Amino acid sequence: MDRQIALEILVKYKKEKSFLNLTINHYFENNQLTQIQKSFITRVVYGTVQNMIYLEYILKPYIRGRVKTYEKMLLLMSLYQHVFMNGIPDYAIMNEAVNLAKKNKGIKTAQFINGVLKNAIHSPCSLDELNKEERISVETSHPLWMVKMFIKQYGFEETQKICHANNEVPQRCARVNTLLMSRTELLKDTLWQPAHLSDVGVYYQQGNIANSDAFKQGFVTIQDESSQLVAPLLNPLPGETVLDMCCAPGTKASHLAALMKNQGCIHAFDLYPHKIALVKQQMSRLRISIVEAKAADSTTLAQLYKPLTFDKILLDAPCSGLGVLARKPEIKYHEASAMDEIIQIQEKLLENAYPLLKNGGNIVYSTCTINKKENEKQIQSFIKKHPDIKKIKEVTILPYQYHSDGFYMCLLEKE
C-alpha cells in the first residue's frame, strides 16, 4: 500500500505540478497509515523528486521514445530505492514494481518495467562523459541553467557546496513563542535541542513538530532558523505601528509580535483570503492579539494608506525559492523565465513600501532565495531610485553554511 500511495503522489505531481507537501498531507489524512509507512512514503516521494535528473540519467540508455507518466514515475521511484535506500534488496524493489504495474496497467506494462529495471539496476552508471558543470547538474539533480547561474554568482566551489546541501535532509526547526515560554523552559523537555543561529530556535528530535504538545499549546511555531533572523533585524519595538506586506502563513508576523511583547499594531497583508484565514488561526494558537490580517494586493498598498504611516515595514517578498530546495525540491524544475515576473513584483512591492515608511523608519527586505538578481541587485536598483534610502546591514545565508535554508535579508533606513 505504501508504494502504491507514493506512486500515486508522484504521478499527481508530474501531471498537475502539485505541491508535494500538500499532496502528501492529503493522502495521509485520507488513508490509515502507520508512522513507518508515512516515513517510507515521504522519503520515496521527496527522494525521487530531489534526485530526478540523476535518476533519469541512469534510466536514459534503457528506454526508447516517450514513456507514459505512470510508467516513468514507477521506474524512477524504484531506481531511487535501489540507489539511495540500501536496506531494501533489489529483488524486493523489482517484485514490488512489477506487481504494481501488473495490478494497475496489465502484463505488458509489467514486462516492460521488469526489463528496464533489470538492465538499469545491474549496469553501472558513469558520469565520466560529462563536463564539470554537467556533472554537478546530474549528480545533484539541479537543472543546468541553475548550476550555471550559481557558478556565475558564487563560483564553482560554492556552487558544488550549495547543490549538495540542497539534497540533504533539512532540520526539524521551530521558534519558541516567548510570549508564553522561554527557550530555557522548553529545553527542559529532552525532545527539544537548542538551535545554533537563533537564540529562540530549537530542533525537534522526534517526528512532526505540528503533532507535538508544545506546538498544540502555542509554545512553538515551525520556522527555519535562517528565517528566524529576519524579524530581529527589523527590531520592532512595543507600541510601534508595523506593516508586514506578504504575511502568510504568519510566521514572521508572529515573531514581530513576540518582539513587540504583543503591544502596538501589526498590519499584515496577503493576496489570498484563504491564506489570511491561516494567519488568523496561527495568531489564535499563539495567543497574539496585535496582528490585523487582511487580504489585499500589496503592490497597491500605497493607495490604501496615507504616506509616512509605519514605523517599520517587513517585506518578505515572493521569490524563486532557490534557498529552500531541500524542503521543496519541486522548485528546481520550475522554468527559469518565471523569475523575470517575480523580480518585477518585488520591485512593485518595494515601491509601495517606500512612501508608507516614516522618515527615520526601517524596512527589512527578505527572500528565501539566493539568486542575486532578486536580492543584492534588487536592493541596488531600489536605492538608486531613492537616494534617501540607506543600506544598514545585508546578510546572505547559503544552505550549506549552517544546515539551514538559504536566505537573504537587508535592513534599510529612510533618512
Residue given cell 503533532 in the structure block: 211
Q: How many helices (H) and strands (E) does the chain have?
A: 18, 11
CB 108 within 8 A of CB 98: no
Distance CA 225, CA 277 (A): 25
Strand ranges, E, within 319-403: 357-367, 389-397
Q: What is the 3-state secondary structure (H, E, C) of 231-296?
A: HHHHCCCCCCEEEECCCCCCHHHHHHHHHCCCCCEEEEEECCHHHHHHHHHHHHHHCCCCEEEEEC
CB 366 within 8 A of CB 349: no
Which H helix or E strand runs over 333?
Answer: none
Q: Which residues are within 8 A (CB) of 282 and not within 5 positions of it... i.e. 6 or more apart? A: 221, 249, 250, 251, 254
Using a 10 angstrom Cβ sphere, with 0-12 exposed, 13-18 middle and 19 or more buried, the burial of residue 257 is buried
Would you say the C-alpha torsion 168, 90, 142, 73 has a positive or negative sign? negative
Alpha helices in 51-175 (DSSP H): 52-59, 69-84, 90-105, 107-122, 132-140, 144-154, 156-165
Residue given cell 506578504 in the structure block: 246
Could you give the residue numbers annotated as active site? 368
Distance CA 268, CA 396 (A): 25
Specify the amino acid at residue 335: E
